[in-house]
Chain A
Amino acid sequence: MKKLNFKKLIALGLTAAAAVASFTACGTNATSGGSDGNTGSKVYRTLDEIKASGKINIGVFSDKNPFGYVDENGEYQGYDIYFANRLGKDLGVEINYVSTEAANRVEYLETGKVDIILANFTVTDERAEKVDFALPYMNVALGVVSPDSNVIKSLDNWKAEDKMIVISGTTAELYLTKNYPDIKLQKYDSYATAKSAIENGNGVAWANDNTEVLAFAKQNPGYTVGIDSLGSQDTIAPAVSKGNETLLNWINDEIKTLGKENFFHADYDATLASTYGADYKETLVVEGGEVKKS
């Protein structure tokens, strides 16, 4: 039990839950003749149903500072929450925040236990098969941080003897292995060990999610993010249960309307600026759902 990887255990749990569900669902369908198949399979609440109930359930992170976290007074805060609060206000409903984990976000939507997931949810094709993503409100990419004495601004003229620090299993490791096989990687298991490695000069630069390296450079004087958006540009977007069109359309319209008042820039100023500084606003923020191609 101890040796069993926690993530695998979660996957096993969810698979078992799904298996039990599909097994019993088949049973009930057979007996009821599938007459109420349509209403039975609708797990989500439509926009009107949410408004009528006066309450919306939004799944957020409660421990991912500065995107979604709980402050010392027990209040939810962060970039995602700032947006969620606005959604609740414009819908005219009370918000019930549900604390989610990275591993169960999809499941929460598939079972309709929350109406929206606003938990730093990266849009991927695999997830898009199971949930419906609205327009994006943030960019994510990879970034490379290096000491001020030798700022790496491009990976094209990489010296053969130089090493790049990465954390094992991250997107950065996968991306570099695939696209820059010539760059020697110095791999570490945790954020803390990678951090001391760059400080000790075990590598010339450190590649990680750009939000992470930007925060690192901001907190540690003497380091600069030479490359702030590397690799495939991914986006972060709100997600709703598959097929919940009324809610999805409403969120999309809302994001477009909010773009007119530069809402997400204000959100950045209020929640992310203290971590990332003002310089990266345009790199990270997606306004009005329109991703600018760089």
Chain B
Amino acid sequence: MQDLAVNLGIDVLFKGTNFIRLLGGLWTALWISLVSVAISIPLGIGMGVLMTKKNRILKAVLRVYLEFIRIMPQLVLLFIMFFGTTRAFGWDLSGEAASIIVFVLWGTAEMGDLVRGALISIPKHQYESSEALGLTNTQTYLYVIIPQTIRRLIPLSINLITRMIKTTSLILMIGVVEVLKVAQQIIEANRMTSPNGAFGVYLTVFLLYFIACWPISMLAKYLEKKWS
């Protein structure tokens, strides 16, 4: 057993507080993505509703915002938010704050587009029937449209959450020590004594991401089945 651990290079994880540090790194990645998700969802719903409005200027502005966020690699957005805002406005954002802002901007855009898609997929007769029943505009949304939209939305938005968790691996570039950075630190600190460390540590990181994302993915699958 000991030999196997050495061959796989997992032994380095049992030195000192290494494994606890790795879990700490995972927690950093998770809380940053979960806070971002919690803020993005209500903002994204708002944006999605606005995107279905007939106002042309509003539509154009939101479209430009969505495309900008989509085209820009997240790493570039992170650099702009972390270093760029200091140069331009003298803001001294922490790495964590810059990450959350970027992830919220990204999450809101993506979520907005998902909500827009879900809303326009509701057939027109649903609105017309509600009107025929004498429901007000608010009642139509509250009792007819939104429940159906949410049903279509949940699996898609859960995918967004797992994508966000995985993208946190980029925030090490702006000085946030998350799970991947801790892994690199452990591998390098033991470069001489455990040359196999890279394999074992990255394997562990893979498992940690998997353990974090898999239940979320399964939930999406379950809900998709239940509501389809």
| Dominant SS among interface residues on chain A | helix
Whether the Cβ atoms of B191 and A65 lie closer than 8 Å is yes
Given contacts A63-B188, A107-B83, contact A9 B16 (CB under 8 A): no
The interface stretch among B37-45, B74-82, B208-216 is B74-82
Shortest Cβ distance from residue B89 to the other chain A in the assembled complex, whole angstroms: 7
Complex interface bits, A1-35 against B, C-beta within 8 A gives 1, otherwise 0: 10000000110111011101111110010000000
**Residue with the highest number of chain B CB atoms closer than 10 Å, among A10, A62, A108:** A62
Q: How far is the CA of A91 from the CA of B174 in the complex (A)?
A: 27
- A230 contacts chain B at the CB level, 8 A cutoff: no
| Total number of A residues with any Cβ neighbor in B under 8 Å | 44
Complex interface bits, B1-42 against A, C-beta within 8 A gives 1, otherwise 0: 000000000001001111001000000000000000000000
Give the contacting residue for A10; candidates B15, B16, B173, B185; CB below 8 A: B173
The interface stretch among A109-117, A152-160, A169-177 is A109-117
Given contacts A13-B73, A65-B191, contact A21 B84 (CB under 8 A): yes
| Total number of B residues with any Cβ neighbor in A under 8 Å | 37
- B166 contacts chain A at the CB level, 8 A cutoff: no
- A273 contacts chain B at the CB level, 8 A cutoff: no
- A246 contacts chain B at the CB level, 8 A cutoff: no
Whether the Cβ atoms of B83 and A14 lie closer than 8 Å is yes
Q: How far is the CA of A132 from the CA of B59 in the complex (A)?
A: 48
- A275 contacts chain B at the CB level, 8 A cutoff: yes
Given the complex, which residues of A lie within 8 Å of B76, measured CB to CB? 9, 12-13, 16-17
Given contacts A1-B73, A10-B75, A72-B18, contact A17 B83 (CB under 8 A): yes
B residues in contact (CB < 8 Å) with A: 12, 15-18, 21, 73, 75-76, 78-80, 82-90, 92, 172-175, 177, 181, 184-192
Q: 17 A-B pairs, CB-CB below 8 angstroms?
A: A13-B79, A17-B87, A20-B84, A21-B87, A28-B88, A43-B86, A43-B87, A62-B177, A65-B192, A70-B21, A72-B15, A72-B16, A98-B175, A99-B181, A108-B175, A113-B82, A113-B92
